Amino acid sequence: SQTIHQWPATLVQPVGSPLSLECTVEGTSNPNLYWYRQAAGRGLQLLFYSVGIGQISSEVPQNLSASRPQDRQFILSSKKLLLSDSGFYLCAWIRGGLAGHHEQYFGPGTRLTVT
């Protein structure tokens, strides 16, 4: 069966510090991968998605970046965190192909607090 992991589960970082969040998927190959953010009281904001290794599409210009060094690994990074980067970060995947054809599976999320 397929599983999706995110770590860390919670993170408290000072403003200006770097960030690295990791997402890995098991039990499937060539998935589409997605990073979302939920700010407090807000909906889901798609940040990045990837349809293959090294292929990253950015949805919102900001000080975050994403990378996909391996087929089932998706990393969200920042060189210098801002207070506005606080939120709940969710990773998700679907079987490779079109988003409308497949259920999107979500990870447990990472709660990031920037102080």
- State whether residue 84 is helix, strand or coil: helix
Q: Does 33 bind another protein (CB under 8 A)?
A: no
Q: What angle do CA 13, 18, 24 make, to 5 degrees?
A: 90
Residue closer to another protein by CB (options 14, 29) is 29
Choice from 66, 76, 85, 107 touching another protein (CB under 8 A): 107
Q: Of all helices (H) and strands (E), which one includes residue 68?
A: strand 64-70
* 50 neighbors 32 (Cβ within 8 angstroms): yes
- How many CB atoms are located within 10 Å of the residue 16 CB? 10
- State whether residue 85 is helix, strand or coil: helix
Q: Which of residues 39-98 bind another protein (CB under 8 A)?
A: 42-44, 46, 49, 51, 57, 59, 88, 90, 92, 98
Residue closer to another protein by CB (options 11, 51) is 51
Choice from 32, 66, 75, 112 touching another protein (CB under 8 A): 32
Residue closer to another protein by CB (options 11, 46) is 46
Place of tokens 């990773």: 91
Site residues for another protein per CB under 8 A: 32, 34, 42-44, 46, 49, 51, 57, 59, 88, 90, 92, 98-101, 103-104, 106-109, 111
